[in-house]
């Protein structure tokens, strides 16, 4: 995997803590994401992965800690605030509108208006269709028509539309929550290729996944969480079998030496 240049990170999360009543979901977690980097985020259920990403995407407000976006402190108050700062999250359930076509889903909530009539606007459908097609072509996403209803798309195509929507407005950071879950082998391969294409076009990406093979194939760096803490942060390297064995050991607590200099 490539070594990232020493520049100001696109994202820094420092000492992030989050409690839900008596449950300590995050216990002082640090995270760094560099420009043009793919960071794999792994951990068992309830490790804190999704909670940490919901903090970064503005869905949760941390109890303690700070977030820096390109070196500047950001006090994220909600997902719209995070979106304005260039942070998009693609959730596992995709949050797509099945009864709308591809174009409408790409521009959902951010529709282009051709004419404004008081508090009402006339949608510029032709402009949005052209932009949606241009976006899919740029990302090398193969969908027959942007007028197709999302409910008629395959699982892999639906995932691609959700990712394209996240890229539609020049996002700096894209967070993907289990992007290959419940997909066929062929669809998984296409989503992995799409992640690579996003990186090639300058996006910084965080991928949450239980599929260690996907993390290994696409990530530059790996971060392992357990019980609300970061227990490992290192480049992705080595043989896939050795990689899987070491990652699982950190996930289940068989290894817990964060200072261990041996790469995963």
Domain that holds residue 217: 11-98+170-252
Q: Choose among 63, 53, 62: nearest CA to 88.
A: 53
Q: Is residue 164 a contact partner of residue 146, using CB atoms and an 8 Å limit? A: no
Tell how strand 11-20 and strand 64-69 pair up: antiparallel
> Is 138 within a domain?
no
Look at residue 247 and tell me if it is in a domain. Answer: yes
CATH number at residue 197: 3.40.50.300
* Global confidence as pTM: 0.88
Rounded Cα distance, 262 and 167, in Å: 36
Q: How far apart are CA 226 and CA 134, in angstroms?
A: 41
From CA 91, how far away is CA 159, in angstroms rounded?
10
Confidence band for 3, pLDDT divided at 50, 70 and 90: very low
Residue 89 CA: distances (Å) to CA of 34, 38, 83, 217, 264: 17, 14, 9, 21, 27
| CB 224 within 8 Å of CB 67 | no
pLDDT at 181: 86
Q: Tell whether 71 is covered by a domain.
A: yes
Q: Which tokens sit at 59?
A: 């869905």
pLDDT digits (tens, 9 = 90+) for 6-16: 589 999 999 99
Q: Is the pLDDT of residue 262 over 50?
A: no
Residue 96: which of 35, 160, 34 has the closest Cα? 160
Query: Is 117 inside a domain boundary?
Result: no
How far apart CA 86 and CA 33 sit, in angstroms, is 14
Angle at 57 between CA 54 and CA 62, to 5 degrees: 55
pLDDT at residue 259, as a whole number: 40
More confident residue, 262 or 230: 230
User: Nearest Cα to 221, choosing from 10, 30, 11, 32?
Assistant: 32
- Condensed to tens digits (0 to 9), the pLDDT of residues 196-254 reads 999 998 899 999 999 999 999 999 999 999 999 999 999 998 899 999 999 999 998 87
Under 8 Å CB-to-CB from 137, ≥6 apart: which residues? Answer: none
In a domain, 56, yes or no: yes
Task: Note the pLDDT tens digit of each residue in 135-192.
Answer: 999 999 999 999 999 999 998 999 999 999 988 877 899 999 999 887 888 889 999 9
> Does residue 34 fall inside a structural domain?
yes
Least Cα distance to 233 among 41, 65, 36, 48 occurs for: 41
Secondary structure of residue 114 in the 3-state scheme: strand
Tally of domains within the chain: 1
pLDDT in tens, 74-119: 999 999 999 999 999 998 777 789 999 999 999 987 777 766 666 6
The pLDDT, as a whole number, for residue 257 is 52
Residue 209 lies in a domain: yes
The answer to whether residue 228 sits within a structural domain is yes
- Top pLDDT among 118 and 48 is at 48
């Amino acid at each position: 995997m490539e070594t990232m240049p020493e520049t100001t990170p696109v994202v820094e999360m420092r000492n992030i803590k989050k409690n839900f009543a008596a449950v300590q979901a995050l216990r002082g977690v640090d995270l760094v994401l560099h420009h043009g980097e793919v960071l794999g985020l792994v951990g068992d259920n309830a490790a804190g992965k999704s909670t940490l990403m919901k903090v970064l995407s503005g869905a949760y407000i941390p109890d303690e800690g700070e977030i820096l976006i390109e070196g500047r402190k950001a006090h994220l108050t909600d997902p719209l605030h995070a979106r304005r700062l260039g942070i998009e999250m693609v959730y596992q359930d995709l949050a797509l509108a099945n009864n709308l076509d591809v174009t409408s889903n790409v521009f959902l909530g951010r529709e282009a208006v051709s004419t404004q009539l008081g508090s009402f606007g006339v949608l510029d459908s032709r402009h949005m269709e052209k932009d949606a097609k241009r976006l899919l072509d740029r990302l090398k996403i193969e969908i027959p028509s942007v007028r197709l209803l999302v409910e008629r798309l395959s699982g892999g195509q639906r995932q691609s539309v959700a990712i394209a929507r996240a890229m539609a407005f020049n996002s700096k950071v894209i967070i993907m929550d289990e992007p290959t879950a419940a997909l066929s082998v062929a669809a998984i391969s296409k989503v992995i290729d799409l992640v690579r294409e996003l990186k090639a076009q300058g996006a910084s990406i965080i991928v949450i996944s239980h599929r260690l093979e996907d993390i290994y194939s696409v990530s530059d760096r790996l971060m392992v969480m357990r019980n609300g803490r970061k227990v490992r942060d290192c480049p992705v390297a080595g043989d896939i079998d050795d990689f899987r064995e070491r990652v699982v050991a950190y996930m289940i607590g068989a290894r817990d030496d964060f200072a261990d200099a041996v790469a995963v």
